[in-house]
Copies of this chain bind each other. A is one copy, B any other.
């Protein structure tokens, strides 16, 4: 496997946008280092680098909500990645399908959340 030439930031990270391959809904954005990108390509399952926990992170390792890679691309500058995935369960740790559940009016006012959670995060994460 040969990784394409990519531009990582000063922390060795590159942002990965994750989109549902079927609905095309944007699910989340997270960060990868070259080891998590290599693991993602090798296994076909999304792996990240957690900046808050400073650790390698297989998406779904606790929740079971894994993401299988269907297609991927880099942008024109080689500094952002886009992955289309098959998402098991919800992508967001809050229980929503997407991390982008909070929309706003044009003047910046939060709108009422228009969707239900797909899972209960207390049950999903409590005993793990």
**Interface on A for B, CB 8 Å cutoff?**
1-4, 15, 17, 19, 23-26, 28-29, 41, 44, 69, 71-77, 80, 82, 92-94, 96, 99-104, 106-110
List the 10 closest pairs (A to B, CB-CB), nearest first.
A24-B24, A75-B99, A73-B100, A73-B103, A82-B100, A76-B99, A29-B80, A1-B107, A1-B108, A76-B94
Min CB distance A69 to B, Å, is 7
Instruction: Give the dominant DSSP class at A's interface.
Output: loop
Min CB distance A29 to B, Å, is 5
20 CB-based A-B contacts, threshold 8 Å? A2-B108, A4-B102, A4-B104, A15-B29, A17-B29, A24-B25, A26-B26, A26-B82, A29-B80, A41-B106, A41-B107, A44-B106, A71-B103, A72-B104, A73-B101, A73-B102, A74-B102, A76-B92, A76-B94, A82-B100
Whole-angstrom CA separation of A102 from B44 in the bound complex: 19
| Contacting residues, chain B, for A15 (C-beta < 8 A) | 15, 29
Closest residue to A37 on the B side, CB-wise? B108
| Contacting residues, chain B, for A19 (C-beta < 8 A) | 26
| Contacting residues, chain B, for A104 (C-beta < 8 A) | 4, 72-74
